[in-house]
Amino acid sequence: MYIKVPLFFMGVLATLLIAWVGLTLIPGVQISEVNPPDGLKPYTEQQLRGRSVYIREGCIYCHSQQTRPVGYGADQKRNWGRPSVPGDYFYDRPQLLGTMRTGPDLFNIGARQPSEDWHLIHLYNPRATSPGSIMPPYPWLFREEIHYSDEVLAARGDRVVPVSQEYVPEGKVIIATQDALDLTAYLIGLNHTYPVDGKE
């Protein structure tokens, strides 16, 4: 009995050590050898703030950021871009690959939708840009204010979102908060259309 107990704990420790080597140490060494592609730029400060908003709002629960090659789904038929490679995530800490695709993959959303207006309207009310969308709106990223005059809004530096009147409360205008602008900058920055190993 006195001999079996130490052996049991040694077995547990050995199992944990093997798991750590296989799941953490070896992948870490492999990733440390990956370099960023020439076309990949570090995030700006605003994009990093937007990335934090992306995480806070749980966007990863419905959107992935990884495109797959032919034979592993319909990504290429959907024109979502070349298959992603490890170097594409060089500046991502943590990586936001995602596994769910309730919404479309966002790996190249900045290339598919480069318009700031489009993203702001879409965040305020997805149905305003994408009829039938099941994505929830994010009204807390905006302010609904009385529309006094364009001069007042311009003097305050407010970013008015050009939402169709049918989605705006009567007499109001929609103002983007800094969180909405930062998140939009991050989404537009998701553009991995640069070539990698001769692939675009």
Q: Which residue has the higher pLDDT, 72 or 184?
A: 184
Q: Where is mean pLDDT largest: 4-8, 39-43, 145-149?
A: 39-43
Query: Tell me, what DSSP letter sits at residue 172?
Result: E
Q: What is the pLDDT of residues 77-116, one digit of tens each?
A: 888 989 999 999 999 999 899 988 899 999 999 999 999 9
CA distance 108 to 62: 16
The amino acid that residue 91 corresponds to is Y
Looking at residue 61, its pLDDT comes to 95
- Lowest pLDDT segment from 23-27, 69-73, 129-133, 196-200: 196-200
Looking at residue 114, its pLDDT comes to 96
The amino acid that residue 144 corresponds to is E
CA distance 186 to 47: 4
CA distance 199 to 182: 30
Q: What is the pLDDT of residues 153-197, one digit of tens each?
A: 778 888 999 999 999 999 899 999 999 999 999 999 999 999 887
Q: Please count the CA atoms within 13 angstroms of the CA of 126 that sit on its side-chain side.
A: 9
Looking at residue 34, its pLDDT comes to 82
**Residue 142 CB neighbour total at 10 angstroms:** 22
Q: Is the peptide bond before 6 cis (omega within 30 degrees of 0)?
A: no
Residues near 142 by Cβ (< 8 Å), separated by ≥ 6? Answer: 120, 123, 124, 161, 174, 175, 176, 177, 180
**Residue 29 CB neighbour total at 10 angstroms:** 9
Closest by CA position to 90, among listed 43, 49, 58: 43
Give the DSSP H/E element, type plus range, for residue 144: strand 142-146
Looking at residue 177, its pLDDT comes to 97
pLDDT band at 31 (very low <50, low <70, confident <90, very high): confident
pLDDT band at 3 (very low <50, low <70, confident <90, very high): low
- Taking 80 as the threshold, does the pLDDT of residue 32 lie above it? no
Looking at residue 123, its pLDDT comes to 98
